[in-house]
Amino acid sequence: MADPELEKAIKEAAASVDARRPQVEAEDPDEGTVMGDRPNSMPPPPQTAAAGADVYTAAKRELEEAMEKVKKDAADLKDKWVRTAADLENYKKRAAREREEVVKFGNERILKDLLPILDDLDRTIGAAEVSPDNQALMNFVDGAKLVQKKFLTQLEKNGVEGFTVLGQPFDPTQHEAVQQVNHDSVPAGAVSQEIRRGFYLNGRLLRPALVAVSLGPKS
């Protein structure tokens, strides 16, 4: 859209040309008098009126061409501005997403490195629980469970959550199968044993679960 002030100035110039047209057509270039002052016996030469009309037409055409050029230039500038504004908005959205990704997953590597420690703790507790008659050992297990719980609480505060896999259909996007076994109560293709826990980080898979997949009952 053209500048209103510029468009107004061009229109005023065109109006001024229109206002001068009768005077231009009536002027006598030889004597400098207006047609209204000339005796009726001396009409202006025909070529004088034609020349004035040509000047008017040329001036008007130039103004119209200038107006169209200004409008076109303004439209081009507006189009460039709209595209630049859209690019800037897309950049802002992309930068915001990247910042959000950094906040959510910036500590992914260190959290993943801590999970093997939890694995060792899980195995230690599991191995100790096979001797429930040993009171000293069970006291140790109770203490280890408290440590395990505290560990999991800290992981959860950082967006890490474990997920359940036993009895679930095998899913290669979340499970990593390391063996297949026959199992009477677990249907074929389902997880029959969780060998190592899997975890999510803020809804994204941090580590798949290591599992054994059931082949169903022995035939």
Q: Which residues contact 70 (CB under 8 A, 6 or more apart)?
A: 2, 3, 6, 7, 10
Question: Which residue, 151, 203, 143, 215, is CA-closest to 179?
Answer: 215
Strands 191-196 and 209-214: antiparallel
Give the separation between CA 105 and CA 115, rounded to whole angstroms. Answer: 15
Q: Is residue 214 a contact partner of residue 191, using CB atoms and an 8 Å limit?
A: yes
CATH number of 159-219: 2.30.22.10
The DSSP secondary-structure symbol of 217 reads S
The DSSP secondary-structure symbol of 190 reads B
- What is the domain partition of the chain in residue ranges? 4-105, 106-158, 159-219
Tell me the two tokens of residue 71.
């409008």
pTM of the complete model: 0.55
Q: Which residues contact 144 (CB under 8 A, 6 or more apart)?
A: 121, 124, 125, 128
Question: Which residue, 214, 172, 156, is CA-closest to 190?
Answer: 214
Average pLDDT, 10 consecutive residues per value, the chain (219 residues): 59 63 51 46 56 72 85 89 89 85 82 90 85 82 90 92 94 95 93 95 94 91
- Count Cα atoms within 13 angstroms, Cβ side, for 58: 6
